[in-house]
């Protein structure tokens, strides 16, 4: 099936038109072995949305904000298990992490630190 191209490609939207809220949000990720934390910070709200992946499988997600500054997410995938606790200190503009990651035959290891500041 072939779809014909239209000459009028959203003529109501000018080139370079972007809402200023796009500049108040940034996203990044952090990985430890098979665990990946994907997060987006929205400075206009303020809030942080997170997704946790284990061996490429999403095991959970949520939102951190001044009303709910801590989130704990745990799960297992492909023989691995993990628990991640993220805590935001909005007065310091930083998020800390505590991770327990367990692998088959190897056991568990704890990690902690500052996710971003």
Q: Locate 13 and state its tokens.
A: 């939207």
Q: Which of 6-10, 32-36, 56-60 has the least mean pLDDT?
A: 6-10
Query: What residue ranges do the domains of the chain occupy?
Result: 24-116
Q: Report pTM.
A: 0.79
In the predicted structure, residue 117 carries a pLDDT above the cut 70:
yes
Report the percent of the chain where pLDDT is more than 70: 79
- Relative to beta strand 70-77, strand 35-42 is unpaired
Count the Cβ atoms, other than its own, within 10 Å of residue 27.
10
Q: For all residues of the chain together, what is the average pLDDT?
A: 87
Among residues 13, 32, 10, 23, the alpha carbon closest in space to that of 98 is found at 32
Place of tokens 């606790």: 85
**CATH 1.10.287 at 24-116, yes or no:** no
pLDDT, residue 110, reads: 97
pLDDT, residue 44, reads: 80
């Amino acid at each position: 099936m072939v779809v014909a191209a239209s000459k009028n490609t959203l003529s109501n939207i000018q080139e370079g038109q972007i809402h200023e809220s796009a500049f108040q949000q940034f996203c990044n990720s952090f990985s430890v072995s098979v665990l990946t934390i994907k997060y987006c910070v929205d400075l206009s709200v303020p809030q942080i949305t997170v997704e946790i992946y284990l061996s490429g499988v999403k095991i959970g997600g949520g939102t951190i904000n001044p009303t709910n500054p801590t989130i704990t997410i745990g799960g297992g995938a492909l023989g691995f298990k993990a628990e991640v606790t993220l805590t935001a200190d909005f007065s310091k503009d930083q998020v800390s992490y505590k991770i327990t990651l367990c692998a088959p035959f190897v056991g568990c290891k704890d990690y902690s630190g500052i996710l971003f500041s």
